[in-house]
Amino acid sequence: MWKVLAIDPVKCTGCLQCEMACSIENYGVIATSKSRIKVFNFEHEGRKVPYTCTQCAEAWCLHACPVDAIRLDQRTGAKVVDEGTCVGCKVCTIACPFGTINYVQETGKVQKCDLCGGDPACAAACPTGAITFVEADWAGLNKMQQWAAKTAAAVLA
């Protein structure tokens, strides 16, 4: 059974531990600008909400990539960017309806959450349990997929 990141925004304090852990895991430095998870600040509501790739089942980014640089990791269920294959065309960034794939100017490639190979650093670093790594069914993935299908059908009608 694949696992996914589950986010409970009510528990987020905006400490940015998740962003720091992500940048250390992927770049070896504390640089929240390099993080693959972002904490959005809804200042008017007084809320902080962590946000990252949901590893969509349909994965529009994967299907849109013209050079097959984004592949499914069968072990973790993550959609992973192969930097050696990525040409930096950004088609995947356009295809992603959630804006969770980012172009990295320094490398000329894109980056997205890859679940840290099955042990997400963001979840491990979250001190409040706002980010957890849970079985995909528990996170309501099926409900999200059903809702997305219903919405897509309404748009196409």
Q: What is the pLDDT of residues 116-129, one digit of tens each?
A: 999 999 999 999 99
Question: What are φ and ψ of residue 88, in 5° steps?
Answer: 70, 25
Q: 33-47, pLDDT tens digit by residue?
A: 999 999 999 999 999
The CATH classification number of 1-55+116-156 equals 3.30.70.20
Pick one of 3.40.50.1100, 1.10.10.10, 3.30.70.20, 3.40.50.970 as the CATH number of 56-112: 3.30.70.20
Check if the beta carbon of residue 61 is closer than 8 Å to that of residue 96. Answer: yes
pLDDT digits (tens, 9 = 90+) for 64-80: 999 999 999 999 999 99
Q: For position 157, what pLDDT does the model report?
A: 72
Q: Which of 52, 43, 30 is nearest to 131 (CA)?
A: 52
Q: What are the boundaries of each domain within the chain?
A: 1-55+116-156, 56-112
Phi, psi of 140 (to 5 degrees): 80, 25
